Chain A
Amino acid sequence: MPNKAVKIGLTVVVLAGALAGLLRATLRDGTEYYKHVDEVLVNPVDWQGKNLQLHGYVVRDSILRKRDSLEYRFKVTGKVGDDARVVLAHYTGIVPDTFSDDAEVVLKGRLEPDGFHVSPNGVMAKCPSKYEAKKTAGAPDN
């Protein structure tokens, strides 16, 4: 039955093509680059205006909150303790409980000339595994 085979083949090709095209189109604006602060700092201008997920650490004593508001300004760095190479971040909203000095964070948003603008609910304090109860480093293990 070559006729039937051709029909099925054509249908599959057309459907697969259409879906692949759609997937490509939607992927283009649906994706975000997952980047470490250090990678972005190499050439910040390249990343301006792109959707980013910025991975880094909150610089100690850098978290500022405007009085009586939820407006935050803080710095993120690639390494804990490295206060020189940092990105300034702006955010308005509620931060997770774990958001604190030195916390490992992933920020969703866009890089602009005046700093990183975090989108609403875009602050994620990263946890390698919620299921594994981690202890504070330095505390006696076991």
Chain B
Amino acid sequence: MASLGTFTLLAAFVISAYAAAAAIAGARRASRSLVDSAVGAFYLVAALLTVGTAVIIHAFVTDEYSIKYVQHYSDSVQPFIYKLTSYWGGLDGSIMFWVFLLAVFGSTAVYVNRERHRELMPYVVAIISVVQMFFLFLMVIHKNPFETFLVTAPAEGRGLNPLLQNAYMAIHPPALYIGFVGMTIPYAFGLAALITGHLDDSWLRAVRRWTMVSWLFLSFGLTLGMIWAYEVLGWGGYWGWDPVENAGLLPWLTATAFLHSVMVQERRGMLRVWNVTLVIVTFFLTIFGTFMTRSGVVQSVHAFGEDRQLAWMFTGFMVVILTVSFGYVIYRLPLLRSRHELDSWVSREAAFLANNWILLFAAMFVLFATMFPTISEALTGERLTVGPPFFNKWMLPIGLALLFLTGVGPLLAWRKSTVINLREQFLWATIVGVVTPVALSFAGIPFWPAGLSFALCAFVCVTIIQEFVRGAAVRKQGTGTDYLTAMVGLVARSKRRYGGYTVHLGIVLMFFGFTGEAFKVDEQMLLQPGQQARVGRYAIRNDGVRVTDDGQKQMITGHLTVFHDGKELGKAYPGKWLYRRHEQEPVSRVAIRRSAAEDLYIVMPGFELQDQSVSLQVVINPLVDWIWVGFGIMALGTMIALLPEQVLGFAAAKLPAPSSIGMLLLMLVLMGAPARAQHVVDPAFTPVVPKSALEKDLYKSLICMCGTCGRQLVGECTCGYAADMRAEIGNLVKMGLTRDQVLQYYIKKYGSQEPLAMPVDKGFNRLAWLLPYVLGAGGLLLIGGAAIKWSRHSTATAATAAPAPAAPSTEAADKELEARLDDELRDLD
């Protein structure tokens, strides 16, 4: 089975290469059949990767531990559903899942648009194929998920990290990946438009919906990540500015900017360079985010670990993306000139522009701050870190400015707003926006930042409600129906507009929830049995610790009684679970008492069975549930906007309507997925500490030779054999051997260069080291060459065929044929 899997990957790589070459050649030769064959090959890649996915899932389900990846991320006792999700539980599989999604998405996009955008499609196919090739190349060369054990296959798997055996973690990565992968489609269309020079707005119409769908999934993925962090990780918050979270946020910010600025181009023909740039940057950031989390460039609690080779491959790819994309932007600048100039700063396009700048700045800031430790280390050699407070300091005003624009932008007129217009639109909103903080200050809420945030929330809410009410009133007059019908009719009539307002409403609610953070209470305590402690208006009493066992795990549960203002509210049971075979990774169970106003959040990090005492972390999180509600409303708004919009005729490049409803249902179901709170802290493994730079280097230069770990580096391998090897290396170094001498020692000991992580960089070995890269580059060159040659070939044959149409032999054959035809026709008569 493993070889079938590897074969599908190889075949997919080759066929992607063909699709890219044939598509470009077909476009240049204007050969319909060549382009069709490229599209066919493109679909074939999706089919092959589906087969590959089936193979790997089959391997997981049938516990095929001869495949390393399966062995590493699954075991026989794992519930069925988590065997499936193990597919994307590790690095190799997640790359494969990524390509699989890309192939399916790409094929769908190409299929939906097969009768439209004829001039763009070949290039779209080629660009997506090249991106697929990159990821397939990564797998084939470096991270093949189908790699098998060479000698003996273990009988049992290691099991997926219990932290990931969780409903949220099952859906969170796919949602995020769909969002990431989906951003490739707009990029492919944008770059195709740049290459072909068909830079009218048709490519925008083709990608707007795709961007929206991807944006929705990205938002969904980010929200799920927050919920997971909140309910499972048990540190009391939902967003820690971790590099992995930031990697998802970056493209979200630029995609949000694009979804706004695209309207300006549609309406006013402005910002054309800007839109193309945003599409490119968004795609780039999805790749960059993957790079950041997969290559170990940035240290994070849940990055995948360090991998230099992968880092270089990604760097190469990113350089190519940037060079090609911006090269074309510069080349096409004359075609991208704006049709209009900005008339006034008090106009909707100006507000959108401001919103875009802020969003882009936010993205750049997050990028900078995330990379800051790496940057500072590279520049000064001193590793400086910035924590969440630094992010918050900057992102708070940025967020509030965006919130303000959310209210202002949609109410300004295109081109120029008049004073009368402004007064009419903003009178009530401004009054509410001013009264709210004043009223709140009497309630003891300071103006900065909570009061301002609440004021802006109120301001934006009024503007949105006003839009709905005024629109409905006009429609009611026009159609003579009742208010509610008018409202529904209004939304149905211009779904994009009112869908957008609904999204804004969701954003406001999310901000409302974020503001609760300002009133957060976080306390830690140690309670003896019967002892009681106050946290805010709550009091918590320790009733003791119980230990139970259900055969699969040992469960330690703290029994607490919660009081509010002296009144007993009920019991709370934070716990700690120790799974069999995972005793080193205790899983915390958070006890959360939810309410619209605030959550009481209790974790039990420590306990003492002898004296029944518990250590507790008690957090009061005001308004936090509004974030999740806000996301629900935001998703609903996006769905409304995504519904086919017959009235405005934007139905081009649409997704089938049922799919958005299906998606809505799916998300609603997923939102309600049971909150299975688990928390695993990494097992206590004895860390590997090289004593000198030489040792550190050797750890990376030698592989574990136990015969079953595959080619894991000595420094990374966790088996006992590697520990022995490390000790041996330590002794050798202590004896004063140089690096080469140690390597020679191992070559002699094992009789070959096998223990070396990479071949000695000399003579023939250098070739072995270079070969994969040479092959990859050669393949690319070949494709490019073939594409150019084929496209030239057509003009060449046309040129040679034209002057000599009357070659004697063909003429003779033609005459013969004509004679025969005549005969046959005569017979018919």
A26 touches B524 (CB 8 A): no
- Report if B586 contacts A (CB, 8 A): yes
Query: B157-181 interface mask toward A, CB cutoff 8 Å, 1 = contact, 0 = none?
Result: 0111101100000000000000000
Q: How far is the CA of A130 from the CA of B587 in the complex (A)?
A: 13
- Report if A83 contacts B (CB, 8 A): no
Q: How far is the CA of A142 from the CA of B71 in the complex (A)?
A: 8
B686 touches A137 (CB 8 A): yes
- Report if B480 contacts A (CB, 8 A): no
B720 touches A141 (CB 8 A): yes
A93 touches B524 (CB 8 A): yes
Q: A30-B390, A139-B720 are in contact. Are A132 and B606 (CB under 8 A)?
A: no
For B718, the chain A residues whose CB sits under 8 A away are: 134-137, 139, 141
Determine how close the nearest CB of chain A comes to the CB of B355; give it in whole angstroms.
Answer: 15
- Report if B223 contacts A (CB, 8 A): no
For A69, the chain B residues whose CB sits under 8 A away are: 526
Q: A33-B383, A130-B302, A133-B161 are in contact. Are A27 and B684 (CB under 8 A)?
A: no
The residue that A34 contacts in the complex, of B383, B613, B691, B720, with Cβ under 8 A, is: B383
Q: How far is the CA of A138 from the CA of B387 in the complex (A)?
A: 35
- Report if B482 contacts A (CB, 8 A): no
Q: Which of A35, A98, A133 has the most CB of B within 10 A?
A: A133
The residue that B164 contacts in the complex, of A57, A103, A127, A131, with Cβ under 8 A, is: A131
B685 touches A97 (CB 8 A): no
Q: How far is the CA of A103 from the CA of B682 in the complex (A)?
A: 11
Interface size class of A (residues with CB under 8 A): 35 or more
Determine how close the nearest CB of chain B comes to the CB of A37; give it in whole angstroms.
Answer: 11
A94 touches B160 (CB 8 A): no
Determine how close the nearest CB of chain B comes to the CB of A41; give it in whole angstroms.
Answer: 15
The tally of residues in B whose CB lies under 8 Å from a CB in A reads 67
B90 touches A136 (CB 8 A): no
A131 touches B394 (CB 8 A): no
For B393, the chain A residues whose CB sits under 8 A away are: 26, 30
Q: A31-B386, A97-B605 are in contact. Are A142 and B305 (CB under 8 A)?
A: no
B684 touches A128 (CB 8 A): no
- Report if B719 contacts A (CB, 8 A): yes
Q: How far is the CA of A26 from the CA of B396 in the complex (A)?
A: 13
Query: A23-66 interface mask toward B, CB cutoff 8 Å, 1 = contact, 0 = none?
Result: 10011001111110000000000000000010001000000000
A32 touches B387 (CB 8 A): yes
Q: A70-B526, A94-B617 are in contact. Are A137 and B681 (CB under 8 A)?
A: no
B687 touches A104 (CB 8 A): yes
B766-824 residues at the A interface, CB under 8 angstroms: none
Q: A127-B682, A130-B301 are in contact. Are A34 and B164 (CB under 8 A)?
A: no
A30 touches B305 (CB 8 A): no
Q: A53-B385, A138-B723 are in contact. Are A129 and B686 (CB under 8 A)?
A: no
For B372, the chain A residues whose CB sits under 8 A away are: 31
- Report if B269 contacts A (CB, 8 A): no
- Report if B683 contacts A (CB, 8 A): yes
For B717, the chain A residues whose CB sits under 8 A away are: 141
For B361, the chain A residues whose CB sits under 8 A away are: 19
Q: How far is the CA of A98 from the CA of B684 in the complex (A)?
A: 6
Q: How far is the CA of A44 from the CA of B537 in the complex (A)?
A: 44
Q: How far is the CA of A136 from the CA of B682 in the complex (A)?
A: 10
- Report if A68 contacts B (CB, 8 A): yes
Q: How far is the CA of A103 from the CA of B686 in the complex (A)?
A: 7
Residue on B with the closest CB to A31?
A: B384
Q: How far is the CA of A129 from the CA of B90 in the complex (A)?
A: 11
A107-142 residues at the B interface, CB under 8 angstroms: 108, 120-121, 125, 127-142
Q: How far is the CA of A138 from the CA of B683 in the complex (A)?
A: 13
Query: B673-701 interface mask toward A, CB cutoff 8 Å, 1 = contact, 0 = none?
Result: 00000001111111111010000000000
Q: How far is the CA of A118 from the CA of B382 in the complex (A)?
A: 21
Q: A34-B384, A68-B528, A142-B154 are in contact. Are A132 and B685 (CB under 8 A)?
A: no
Q: How far is the CA of A102 from the CA of B733 in the complex (A)?
A: 24
Residue on B with the closest CB to A138?
A: B720
Q: How far is the CA of A100 from the CA of B301 in the complex (A)?
A: 18
Q: How far is the CA of A96 from the CA of B781 in the complex (A)?
A: 53
- Report if A80 contacts B (CB, 8 A): yes
Q: How far is the CA of A96 from the CA of B528 in the complex (A)?
A: 20
Determine how close the nearest CB of chain B comes to the CB of A9; give it in whole angstroms.
Answer: 16
- Report if B494 contacts A (CB, 8 A): no
B384 touches A131 (CB 8 A): no
For B390, the chain A residues whose CB sits under 8 A away are: 26-27, 30-31
Give the dominant DSSP class at A's interface.
loop
Q: How far is the CA of A125 from the CA of B72 in the complex (A)?
A: 24
Residue on A with the closest CB to B393?
A: A26
For B615, the chain A residues whose CB sits under 8 A away are: 70, 94
- Report if B89 contacts A (CB, 8 A): yes
For A88, the chain B residues whose CB sits under 8 A away are: none
- Report if B50 contacts A (CB, 8 A): no
A68 touches B526 (CB 8 A): yes
Q: How far is the CA of A138 from the CA of B372 in the complex (A)?
A: 36
Q: How far is the CA of A128 from the CA of B304 in the complex (A)?
A: 8
The residue that B389 contacts in the complex, of A30, A33, A95, A127, with Cβ under 8 A, is: A30
B708 touches A142 (CB 8 A): yes
- Report if A79 contacts B (CB, 8 A): yes
Query: B648-683 interface mask toward A, CB cutoff 8 Å, 1 = contact, 0 = none?
Result: 000000000000000000000000000000001111
For A139, the chain B residues whose CB sits under 8 A away are: 718-720
The residue that A136 contacts in the complex, of B301, B613, B686, B689, with Cβ under 8 A, is: B686
Q: How far is the CA of A31 from the CA of B90 in the complex (A)?
A: 32
Q: A136-B683, A137-B686 are in contact. Are A96 and B605 (CB under 8 A)?
A: yes
The residue that B687 contacts in the complex, of A26, A80, A95, A140, with Cβ under 8 A, is: A80
Q: How far is the CA of A102 from the CA of B685 in the complex (A)?
A: 9
A135 touches B683 (CB 8 A): yes
Q: How far is the CA of A96 from the CA of B380 in the complex (A)?
A: 32
Residue on A with the closest CB to B394?
A: A26
For B14, the chain A residues whose CB sits under 8 A away are: none
B394 touches A133 (CB 8 A): no
For A79, the chain B residues whose CB sits under 8 A away are: 689, 691
Query: B269-282 interface mask toward A, CB cutoff 8 Å, 1 = contact, 0 = none?
Result: 00000000000000
The residue that B304 contacts in the complex, of A53, A96, A132, with Cβ under 8 A, is: A132
Q: Which of A94, A95, A121 has the most CB of B within 10 A?
A: A94
- Report if B609 contacts A (CB, 8 A): no
B144-199 residues at the A interface, CB under 8 angstroms: 149, 154, 158-161, 163-164
Q: How far is the CA of A33 from the CA of B385 in the complex (A)?
A: 6
For B383, the chain A residues whose CB sits under 8 A away are: 33-35
Determine how close the nearest CB of chain A comes to the CB of B729; give it in whole angstroms.
Answer: 15
Q: A19-B361, A79-B691, A131-B89 are in contact. Are A140 and B158 (CB under 8 A)?
A: no
- Report if B706 contacts A (CB, 8 A): yes
Determine how close the nearest CB of chain A comes to the CB of B298; give it in whole angstroms.
Answer: 13
Q: How far is the CA of A26 from the CA of B393 in the complex (A)?
A: 8
- Report if B373 contacts A (CB, 8 A): yes
- Report if B757 contacts A (CB, 8 A): no
For A93, the chain B residues whose CB sits under 8 A away are: 524
Q: A19-B361, A69-B526, A129-B303 are in contact. Are A30 and B387 (CB under 8 A)?
A: yes
Determine how close the nearest CB of chain B comes to the CB of A117; give it in whole angstroms.
Answer: 16
Determine how close the nearest CB of chain B comes to the CB of A25; give it in whole angstroms.
Answer: 10
A138 touches B686 (CB 8 A): yes
- Report if B33 contacts A (CB, 8 A): no
Q: Give the 7 A-B residue pairs with the shortest CB-CB distance, closest first.
A: A141-B719, A30-B390, A127-B682, A34-B383, A97-B681, A129-B305, A133-B161
Q: What are 23 inter-chain pairs, A to B, with CB distance below 8 A?
A: A23-B368, A26-B393, A33-B382, A34-B373, A70-B615, A80-B689, A94-B605, A94-B615, A94-B617, A97-B605, A98-B681, A127-B301, A129-B302, A130-B161, A133-B73, A137-B686, A137-B722, A138-B686, A139-B719, A139-B720, A140-B720, A141-B708, A141-B718
Q: Which residues of B contact A (CB under 8 A)?
A: 71-73, 89-90, 149, 154, 158-161, 163-164, 301-305, 361, 368, 372-373, 382-387, 389-390, 393-394, 522, 524-526, 528, 584, 586, 588, 605-606, 613, 615-617, 680-689, 691, 706, 708-709, 717-723
Other than A30-B387, A94-B616, A96-B681, give 17 A-B pairs with Cβ distance below 8 A: A23-B368, A26-B390, A30-B389, A31-B372, A53-B385, A69-B526, A80-B687, A80-B689, A93-B524, A98-B684, A127-B681, A131-B303, A136-B685, A137-B720, A139-B720, A141-B708, A142-B71
